[in-house]
């Protein structure tokens, strides 16, 4: 059985009597110790998915479907039950470590709080564990770091603190929501290395949420591509990046600028990601921007098809998509 398994999961917000689906009928699985990527542009529902896995959605959010985690269905949990999961079994690190840390407290005690809340442990031993944790996330000089305030640390150091905080209770799942977007490329590489190492050493499964395709390459085995609240393609990361099927994924990959397409016009997907209010409730979510759409794309949601573990949701076959997009 998978560690985490979203089954026909829908997250909606009630806005003035209208039910808006932020995430719609998604299926997503993460095995023990697996690293999985969830890729999409802003507003596609990837962070909303992450927050529901932490029980942190807005009060007016409504769930349908199931969030099976370690054998329990989190979708029916109340706040008290969530507290035994959040920070203990599932942890999260965020994009901007500065806003995720309390600026008025030294970072050591902030990490220690995680232990005191979730474990029966005295302060002395807790501090010992924190210092050890700081060392294992490569923050040398841990005594000084322990006593530092967030503003005294660099962006990379702060993200390490976040990782230390997230992993100190040995959760089985770490959600990393754009963990390196705010960091420089050189620091990004170090943080990714650290997440990878923690995954190998502690066996923590990782859900890496990102818009950056080159980041997930080489790091995750499997990936899900999300567009406008739906999963449009999933499979082995390598397959998706090398042989994308869905017109959206194909467009996304083709529009990445790099030295190989110098001097050529970049492929660009026309239009913009629709906002939550603009989303239509029926049909393929990508149809309004798709170059190969047909009438049925607007009336029905295409069923997911599977080719040797590579799944996609489009009415056309891979050959038809290829032909229509190039023709």
Partner 1 sequence: MDSLLKLDGVSKEYKSAYGRVRALCESSLEIERGEILGLVGESGSGKSSMANIIVRLISPDKGKIVFNGVEISSLSARAFRKFRREIQMVFQDPYSSINPKKSIGYLLKECLKIHEKGMSDEEMERKVSESLDEVGLDSSYAKRYPASLSGGQRQRVAIALALIIRPKLIVLDEPVSALDVSVEAQILNLLLDLRKKHGLTYLFISHDLNVVSYIADRIAVMYLGSIVELGKTEDILGAMAHPYTKALFAASSDISATLSGEIPSPMNPPSGCPFHTRCIYAKDRCRVEKPSLSLLSSGHFVSCHYPLRGGEKNENSCGI
Q: Does 268 bind partner 1 (CB under 8 A)?
A: yes
* Segment near partner 1 (CB under 8 A); pick from 51-59, 61-69, 74-82, 209-217: 209-217
Q: Does 121 bind partner 1 (CB under 8 A)?
A: no
Only one residue has tokens 């322990």, namely 146
- Contacting partner 1 (CB under 8 A), which of 53, 134, 209, 215? 215
Q: Does 96 bind partner 1 (CB under 8 A)?
A: no
Q: Does 214 bind partner 1 (CB under 8 A)?
A: yes
Q: Does 284 bind partner 1 (CB under 8 A)?
A: no
Contacting partner 1 within 54-73 (CB under 8 A): none
- Contacting partner 1 (CB under 8 A), which of 269, 284, 292, 297? 269
Alpha-carbon span 258 to 266, nearest angstrom: 10
Half-sphere exposure of residue 295, counting CA atoms within 13 Å on the CB side?
Answer: 0
Q: How far is the CB of 181 from partner 1 (least distance, A)?
A: 9
- Contacting partner 1 (CB under 8 A), which of 103, 260, 308, 327? 260
CB 9 within 8 A of CB 67: yes
Alpha-carbon span 242 to 239, nearest angstrom: 5
103: tokens are: 């600026």
Alpha-carbon span 240 to 237, nearest angstrom: 5
Radius of gyration of the chain (CA): 21
Alpha-carbon span 128 to 131, nearest angstrom: 5
Determine which helix (DSSP H) or strand (DSSP E) holds 153, and give its type and residue range.
Answer: none
- Contacting partner 1 (CB under 8 A), which of 18, 120, 265, 303? 265
**DSSP secondary structure code for residue 85 in this structure:** T
Q: Does 252 bind partner 1 (CB under 8 A)?
A: yes
Q: Does 192 bind partner 1 (CB under 8 A)?
A: yes
Which one, of 46, 53, 49, 66, lies nearest residue 1 by Cα?
A: 66
Count other C-beta atoms under 10 Å from residue 177's C-beta.
22
Contacts of 161 (CB under 8 A, 6+ apart): 97, 101, 107, 110, 111, 134, 137, 139, 145, 150, 153
Q: Does 189 bind partner 1 (CB under 8 A)?
A: yes
Q: How far is the CB of 217 from partner 1 (least distance, A)?
A: 5
Which one, of 269, 205, 163, lies nearest residue 38 by Cα?
A: 205
Q: Are strands 90-93 and 72-73 parallel, antiparallel or unpaired?
A: unpaired
Q: Does 257 bind partner 1 (CB under 8 A)?
A: yes
Q: Does 20 bind partner 1 (CB under 8 A)?
A: no
Which one, of 97, 67, 60, lies nearest residue 82 by Cα?
A: 67
Distance of CA 189 to the CA centre of its chain: 18
* Segment near partner 1 (CB under 8 A); pick from 66-74, 117-125, 266-274, 310-318: 266-274
Q: Does 219 bind partner 1 (CB under 8 A)?
A: yes
* Segment near partner 1 (CB under 8 A); pick from 48-56, 65-73, 129-137, 259-267: 259-267
* Segment near partner 1 (CB under 8 A); pick from 51-59, 116-124, 165-173, 180-188: 180-188
* Segment near partner 1 (CB under 8 A); pick from 4-12, 126-134, 198-206, 212-220: 212-220
193: tokens are: 């290395």
Q: Does 42 bind partner 1 (CB under 8 A)?
A: yes
* Segment near partner 1 (CB under 8 A); pick from 46-54, 85-93, 154-162, 305-313: 154-162
- Which residues are near partner 1 by CB under 8 A? 41-42, 154-157, 184-190, 192-193, 211, 213-215, 217-219, 241, 251-253, 255-262, 265-269, 272-273, 275
């Amino acid at each position: 059985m998978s560690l985490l398994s979203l089954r026909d999961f829908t997250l909606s917000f009630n806005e003035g009597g209208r039910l808006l689906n932020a995430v719609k009928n998604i299926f997503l699985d993460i095995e023990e110790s697996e690293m999985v990527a969830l890729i999409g542009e802003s507003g596609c529902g990837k962070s909303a998915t992450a927050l529901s896995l932490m029980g942190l959605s807005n009060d007016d959010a409504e769930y349908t479907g199931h969030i099976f985690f370690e054998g329990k269905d989190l979708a029916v949990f109340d706040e008290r039950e969530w507290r035994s999961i959040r920070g203990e079994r599932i942890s999260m690190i965020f994009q901007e470590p500065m806003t995720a840390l309390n600026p008025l407290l030294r970072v050591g005690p902030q990490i220690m709080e995680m232990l005191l809340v979730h474990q029966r442990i005295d302060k002395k031993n807790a501090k010992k564990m924190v210092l050890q944790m700081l060392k294992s996330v490569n923050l040398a000089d841990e005594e000084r770091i322990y006593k530092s305030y967030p503003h005294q640390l660099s962006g990379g150091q702060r993200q390490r603190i976040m990782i230390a905080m997230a992993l100190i209770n040995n959760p089985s799942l770490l959600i990393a929501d754009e963990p390196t977007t705010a960091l420089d490329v050189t620091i990004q590489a170090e943080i990714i290395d650290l997440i990878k190492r923690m995954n190998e050493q502690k066996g923590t499964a990782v859900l890496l949420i990102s818009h950056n395709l080159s980041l997930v390459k080489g790091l995750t085995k499997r990936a899900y591509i999300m567009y406008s609240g739906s999963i449009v393609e999933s499979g082995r990361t390598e397959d998706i990046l090398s042989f994308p099927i869905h017109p959206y994924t194909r467009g996304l990959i083709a529009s990445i600028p790099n030295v190989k397409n110098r001097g050529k016009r970049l492929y660009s997907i026309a239009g913009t990601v629709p906002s939550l209010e603009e989303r239509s409730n029926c049909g393929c979510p990508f149809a309004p921007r798709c170059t190969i759409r047909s009438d049925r794309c607007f009336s029905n949601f295409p069923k997911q098809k599977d080719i040797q573990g590579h799944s996609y949701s489009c009415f056309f076959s891979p050959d038809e998509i290829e032909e229509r997009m190039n023709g």
